[in-house]
Structures are given as structure tokens and as C-alpha cells.
Structure 1
Amino acid sequence: MAGVVQSVQALASSLAALPPEFVRPEHERPRATTFLGASPLQIPVVDMSLPDAGCRMVEAATEWGIFQAVNHGVPADAVVELQRVGQEFFALPQEEKQRYAMDPASGKTEGYGSTVQRSPGDKKMWSDFLFHNVSPPAAVNHGFWPDKPRGYRQANEAYCGHMRRLTREVLERLSAGLGLEEGAMAEAFGGGEDGLVLMQKVNFYPPCPQPELALGFAPHTDLCALTVLVANGVPGLQVSKDGLWCDVEHVPGALIVNVGDQIEIFSNGRYRSVLHRATVSREKTRMSWPVFVEPRREYVVGPHPRLVAGEIPAKYDYKAKTFENYRYCRINKLPQ
């Protein structure tokens, strides 16, 4: 692996005040922009074991773009093991983590990295990460997977198996909610069982000396189709609803599922890609484990033809742009 990671984790242990490059503008600071009503807004909770689960997912995707899934069938011990190996990786000496350093100059997105290494002039974000593909087998490069801690590969492969089942079920329910065949969305994005790309990320947000001035991750929508996330119980995820930033109060045992850009576009705007951000804590380390579901690289971005038929216009026109092009433009902040 190439490159040297300038990590927030290493920086955090030696700071009493936040360096200027991490200080957000006034209008972006979490204390000034978070909704502080008498009762917090609650994102939908969907019990996937109930007969109305599909309808509840569709409602949540339409109104919020996010929901918390309970009774989702992912064993608790698989989640615990995934979290164990992620936590132990970030507890390794810095020189060990550096073995997996990503190389931004190469355009590769996999490996160990930090938001400290952003373009000159950009505000830095208070987080480090580990990022690699977990499915399908043809997209996996185990060179990006750590040898330590013990059991890292087994934990990620086991969790990936559960994610393949869960994300396919969500895609089927959302397809049906559009009046399409259950397999329409997965087939368009992946062209078969092994077409969808699943990427596992571990986000690490260490304690911050001035959390009221910083963000772990700036406001964004996910450029993928779908994201499934589990966190370590430390608050930090916020979503934008009706112009207000709201804390996501995590339900124990739940998985957070959010709609990404590709589903919003595919649905011709009937589902929404949720705008979200991450805040940080003064005393506690927050970690999260999102799995991103991406279409195949050659997928042509656009609404499903049956959703723009007749008098319904297409809200999105990317002029036959592939997902690979779309992704490149988003990452490099180029016009779409």
C-alpha cells in the first residue's frame, strides 16, 4: 500500500484546542444548527417481521429517506464480532495501520485513510476510516483487509452474507412500492446476484476538544443505492428533515437503513436520498460500520422507464452517464 495517513486519532491525543482547519463556519456548527425542540423528531422504526413491513419501508423512504430496522434477522453475535474487529484495528499501533494506507493519488478508494488528507482549502473533518469491498468475490482485494486483529476477515465475510440477504429484501420491498416487480431494482443495479457491489467502511471519530465547532462528517447524501449502518451506541448521526438537523436516537439492536442517490434517481424522486452528517463528542469515541450497496460500474444512471411513462416527466437526466462516471464526478466535486 502507498501513502502515509495523517490520522485524526493520533492528532486527538495531543490537542487541547481544535486546529483552525477543523473549525466549521458558523452556519455549519452543530450547536447552532441542531433542532432543540421539547421532543426530538423520531425517524421511522420498521419491524421487518411484521406483514406491513414493506408498506412501512416505502413510507419511510418517501418521507424521510431513512429508517431503523428491527427484527431484521442479522444475528447479534455477527454484529458484535464485526464491531470487535473494527475496534481492535483502530487500537493497533499507528505503524501497523499504516500498512493499509490508501493512496488518494491513485484514485483507489480502499484502505485506511483520514479526512485530514483532503484538498487544500477544504475544512477538515474529525474522522479516520477503513474502507474495502466485501462483495462480490470478483470485486474483493484482500490486500486491503487487515491481517490483525484475529478474525477480521471471518467477521466481515459473515456479516456480508447477512447484508446481501437484508439489502436484497429492502430493494425488493422498495421496488414493489413503486409498482414494479420485486426484482426490478436489484436487476437494474446489479444484473444478477453477483452484480451489486457491497463496500464495508469503519468510521472512527475520536474525542474532540471542541465538538461544538467541528463535524465528524459534513452534510452529504450517499452516492450509492442503499446504506445499512450500525454504530457503537455513541450519539452522532444527524439527518436533515424539513430544513432542521435532528439527532437520530438509535434503537438498541436496530440497523439504520438509508436511501442513496441511485434509488432516488431510479424512483424518479418518489424516494428521497437523505441528507445527513456526523457530529462528535468531547469525551467518547464514536464508531460506525456502514455497508454501501452500489450498482455495477456500467449501470446507466436514470429513472426506471416505467416511472416516466406518459405525462410523467423525468426529474433526472444524466445523459446516459454510467454509475462509474457519476461516482467520479461526486468524489471530485465536478458538475453532474
Structure 2
Amino acid sequence: MEVERVQAIASLSLSSNTIPAEFIMPETEQPAATTFRGPIPEIPTVDFSDPDEQNLVRRVVEASKEWGFFQALNHGIPAEVIRRLQEVGTEFFRLPQEEKEFYAKPVDAKSIEGYGTKLQKDQNGKKSWADHLFHKIWPPSRINYQFWPKNSPTYREANEEYAKHVREVADKVFRSLSIGLGMEAHILKEAVGGEELEYMMKINYYPTCPRPDLALGVPPHTDLSSLTILVPNEVPGLQVLKDNHWIDAKYIPNALIIHIGDQIEIASNGYYKSVLHRTTVDKEKARMSWPVFLEPPPECVVGPIPQLLNDQNPPKYKSKMFKDYAYCKLNKLPQ
């Protein structure tokens, strides 16, 4: 059965100035009706070049407790490395449709890797205005190059170079979060997979949309990862929920967007919050983003870290294998 890609639907929709009914969100979720228009609270930014480690830890911890989300400045990934990552990803979505389909996620696949459109079940039968490409970039033993586009000759080189740098950023975040829990710097990372953590690259492609007031690129969700590190393009669209308001994340050139995911919320026993977020779309320009999801290996059991627990702080979450957690989350089953 041929899957309809949003990129193809978008090119048909632009001439009619309408979108198919299955992309029109319920009124309670439509961005025009629900985006906060008041004075926007300042989304936290953290300067990763801060020589004062105590201050850096404090800023990361506050943002992760209060928002579950922050933008990292001076993170150390060279601008050229990010530019090349974006360039080769953009080239993939410019390929002819039949060539993109060569990388499509196999119908019977257990993994989410590959080119695709729909990811989660939607209770209302609604669809997201987005296509995507998923593949792992680390560790080397877990990479399936079948899903790495070959038509940009430098695709592999650009992704391998980015993987090297993004791991350093991740370690800095884990270190700060662990110290913020009153623990040694290595403990939190170990609790969610340690050196076995799998880095899953996703390229999101949100085509131009004639009715951005009605559609969403991705509906509200939290990430099932431990941590998500995201590179956006210059088209804004990411929104986070804060105090029951959907707030636009301002585009900051060269910043990385860091999301706390479900596994860190679980491991920290709720001290850090997994951020509820969604994506809007644009009428004039395609939006793209490059999140990397840091996922525990499938068999890794994640639960509240024992040394955080006591009579005053009993476990708030079940311990379970990551693959079971992911299955429940993607199929909208209770955890």
C-alpha cells in the first residue's frame, strides 16, 4: 500500500488554499486559537562556555526543573559542523519522491528507523503535517547504514562528525543534572544507559502549509528519550507548554535546544520535568529540525535512582525496560 507523504499533499494543497480534513486539528488544539499572545516569559538560555561550573549547573538545573527545556549557547559544536548537517538533510528532502521511498521504513519493522510520515496512533484520527527520516548515529555497533541517504555524498561524513560533537554536549548536560540531584557526576547518565545510550537522529520536515492556523507539525507530546538535543532551522515553530500556555520558542541562531525526556523524569523521580511540546507550521517556508534522541538500549531497565528515594520521597514511577516503555508510549497504552 502506497503511503501518502505530506510533502506531496502540501504541493497539491497550496494551489487550493485548503488542507485535507484529517490534518485539521480539533479546535482545542488549533494553533491560532491556543498560542499564548500575552507577554511571553523568557525561555531559559544557558551559556555552556561559563567558566563557573557551579553557575552552569545551577542554570541547567533550574531550567530543567521549571521548564524541562532550555536553549544552549556557546555549546562548542562548530557552526560549520551544524551547517553541513543541515545541508545534507535538506538535500535528502529535495530528492525525487521515488528516491526518498528507497529509504522508507519497512512495513513490518520493529524499529522506527527509516523515512516515514506517521509515527504515533492518534485518538482523533488526525494527522501531523510532517514527514521524517530516522536513523541511529551512535554507537557504531547500532548503526544501520541502510537508512543513511547515499545521494548526498557527504551525508555520512556530516552525520558522523556531528555525532562526535553532540556526545560531548550530552555529557555536559548529564553531568550538570546529576550534580544537581546531589549525586556524583556520572550517576544519572549510568541510570539511563551509560555508554550504551543510543543516539537516534530524526530529521523533521514540515512542508509549507496553506492553513497553519489549523494544522500542527507534531501534536503535543513529551519525548520518550532521556534527553533530546535539537538543531532547528531558521523557521520558528517549536512551542512549549508552561503554566497552561503554549509559548513560542524564539529562534536563536547557533543555539541548541535541549529537552528533558521521560527517562530523566523517571530516573530523577520527578525532580526534572519532561517537557510537553508541539510544533506549528508555516505558510511561506518549510520548517526543518534535527533532534537527536538519547535513548537507553532496549533491555535497559530505567526507574527512579535508588539513592534519591526515602520515606519522604517514595518512587513515583515504575521501573521497566525501555523497549516496553516505548511500546506503551507509541501505542498510547498506560505505563
- Match of 1:294? 295
Q: Residue 309 of structure 1: CA displacement?
A: 2.2
- Match of 1:326? 325
Verify the 8 A CA contact 1:5 1:98 in the aligned structure 2. Answer: no
- Match of 2:8? 10
2:327 and 2:97 map into 1 onto residues whose CA distance is 30
Q: Residue 97 of structure 1: CA displacement?
A: 0.2
Partner deviation per Cα, 1:202-250 (whole Å, 9 max, x = no partner) = 0000011111010000000000100011111101000000100000002
Range 115-124 or range 87-96, more displaced:
115-124
- Mapping of residues 115-134 of structure 1, within 5 Å: 115=118, 122-134=125-137
Residues 116/144 of structure 1: CA separation in 2 closer, same or farther (3 Å cut): closer
Q: Residue 187 of structure 1: CA displacement?
A: 1.5
- Mapping of residues 33-182 of structure 1, within 5 Å: 33-37=34-38, 39-50=39-50, 51=52, 52-115=55-118, 122-182=125-185
Aligned residue for 1:58, secondary structure, equals helix
- Match of 2:22? 21
1:241 correspondence with 2:247: no
Q: Residue 121 of structure 1: CA displacement?
A: 5.7
Q: Residue 91 of structure 1: CA displacement?
A: 0.4
Q: Residue 145 of structure 1: CA displacement?
A: 0.6
Verify the 8 A CA contact 1:4 1:101 in the aligned structure 2. Answer: no
Verify the 8 A CA contact 2:47 2:72 in the aligned structure 1. Answer: yes
**Aligned positions, number:** 329
Partner deviation per Cα, 1:50-95 (whole Å, 9 max, x = no partner) = 1111110000001000000001000000000000001000000001
Residues 117/43 of structure 1: CA separation in 2 closer, same or farther (3 Å cut): closer
Q: Residue 184 of structure 1: CA displacement?
A: 0.3
Alignment TM-score, normalising by the size of structure 2 = 0.95
Residues 210/303 of structure 1: CA separation in 2 closer, same or farther (3 Å cut): same
Alignment TM-score, normalising by the size of structure 1 = 0.95
1:274 and 1:285 map into 2 onto residues whose CA distance is 24
Verify the 8 A CA contact 1:4 1:98 in the aligned structure 2. Answer: no
1:218 and 1:274 map into 2 onto residues whose CA distance is 13
1:268 correspondence with 2:266: no
Q: Residue 115 of structure 1: CA displacement?
A: 2.5
Q: Residue 136 of structure 1: CA displacement?
A: 0.6
Residues 328/85 of structure 1: CA separation in 2 closer, same or farther (3 Å cut): same
1:176 and 1:325 map into 2 onto residues whose CA distance is 29
Q: CA RMSD in A?
A: 1.5
Aligned residue for 1:60, secondary structure, equals helix
Structure 2 residue runs without a partner (length 5+): none
- Match of 2:310? 309
- Match of 2:213? 212
2:234 and 2:122 map into 1 onto residues whose CA distance is 31
1:63 and 1:152 map into 2 onto residues whose CA distance is 37
2:295 and 2:256 map into 1 onto residues whose CA distance is 18
Q: Residue 143 of structure 1: CA displacement?
A: 0.7
Segments of 4+ moved more than 6 angstroms: none
Partner deviation per Cα, 1:139-198 (whole Å, 9 max, x = no partner) = 10101111111200100010001111110111011000001110001112224x3x0100
Partner deviation per Cα, 1:233-276 (whole Å, 9 max, x = no partner) = 10100000010000000211110001000001111111000000
2:41 and 2:181 map into 1 onto residues whose CA distance is 27
Counterpart AA for 2:332: K
Counterpart AA for 1:322: M
Q: Residue 5 of structure 1: CA displacement?
A: 3.9
Verify the 8 A CA contact 2:121 2:332 in the aligned structure 1. Answer: no
Counterpart AA for 2:312: E
Structure 1 residue runs without a partner (length 5+): none
Residue identity over aligned pairs, in percent, reads 53
2:187 and 2:71 map into 1 onto residues whose CA distance is 24
Aligned residue for 2:158, secondary structure, equals helix
